[in-house]
Amino acid sequence: MENKLLEMLTEIRPEFDFNESDDYVADGYLDSFDIVTLISMIEEELGVSIDGLDIVPENFKNLESITAMIQRSK
């Protein structure tokens, strides 16, 4: 799943190497629009519905936190 997420992130923001950051939001890799775009991609491509209460910066810090959020949403 992490490889698929990395593909999605790279599609949204190809100018960044997401493997170099431990906090995508704090480092400026993702803004609120990017997060909304990522959620849409996750829901469409992975068939997972993300609860609105899960849309907080902490859940989009890195691949591990995004993966954990998706696992909770299944």
- Architecture of the domain made up of 2-73: Orthogonal Bundle (1.10)
pLDDT at 18: 97
Query: Residue 30, exposed/middle/buried by CB under 10 A (0-12, 13-18, 19+)?
Result: buried
Distance, CA of 43 to CA of 11 (rounded, Å): 16
pTM for this model (two decimals): 0.93
Domain residues of the chain, as ranges? Answer: 2-73
**In 3D, which of 6, 8, 3 has the Cα closest to residue 45?**
8
pLDDT at 61: 97
Q: Please name the amino acid found at residue 70.
A: I
The 10s digit of each residue's pLDDT in 4-63 is 999 999 999 999 999 999 999 999 999 999 999 999 999 999 999 999 999 999 999 999
Q: Please name the amino acid found at residue 47.
A: G
